[in-house]
Amino acid sequence: MERIVPIVLYFDEPVKGLNPSSVKLKPDLVFGKEIQWKPLSVTDSGYSNCWAAHLRITNECSSSQQFSVEVSIPCSEDIVSRSGSHYNCPVHFTFSIELDNHVDTAEDINLIRDPISWGCSEPFQSHGNCNDIPLDQLKVTSALVQEDSKWHFERLSDEIDLFRELPDDNSKFVKLTLARLLLACAAIKSRGRSLVERKGYCEEALGLFSDLIHLDPSHKHYYEDERSLVLMDQLTCDMETFMKHCSVQVEGNSAPLNHVRLCSLSLTRIGYAERLLWVQVLDLSHNSLRSVEGLEALQQLVCLNVSNNRITSFTALESLTKIISLKVLDLSFNEIGAHSIDTTQYICSSPFSHEVEACEGFEECQKKNINVEEYWAAILFFKSLKLAQLDIKGNAVASRENFRTLVMILVPSLKWLDGECVH
User: pTM of the predicted model, to two decimals?
Assistant: 0.87
- Decide if 277 contacts 7 (C-beta within 8 A): no
Question: Does position 11 have pLDDT exceeding 70, yes or no?
Answer: yes
Task: Provide the residue ranges of all domains of the chain, joining segments of one domain with +.
Answer: 3-102, 151-236, 246-421
Q: What is the pLDDT of residue 352?
A: 55
324 or 4, higher pLDDT? 324
What average pLDDT does this structure show over 35-50? 84
pLDDT band for 335, please (50, 70, 90 cuts).
Answer: very high
Strand partners, 32: 56
CA 392 to chain centroid: 20
176 or 188, higher pLDDT? 176
Homologous superfamily of the 246-421 domain (CATH): Ribonuclease Inhibitor (3.80.10.10)
Tell which residue, 202, 297, 281, has the closest CA to residue 248.
Answer: 281
N-term to C-term CA, the chain: 24
Q: What is the pLDDT of residue 255?
A: 65
pLDDT band for 348, please (50, 70, 90 cuts).
Answer: low
What is the pairing mode between strands 389-391 and 416-417? parallel
pLDDT band for 419, please (50, 70, 90 cuts).
Answer: very high
Is CATH 2.60.40 the classification given to domain 3-102?
yes
pLDDT band for 144, please (50, 70, 90 cuts).
Answer: very low
Q: What is the pLDDT of residue 145?
A: 46
Question: Does position 259 have pLDDT exceeding 90, yes or no?
Answer: yes
Highest-scoring range by mean pLDDT, 133-137, 220-224, 340-344, 367-371:
220-224
- pLDDT > 90 fraction of the chain, expressed in percent and rounded: 50
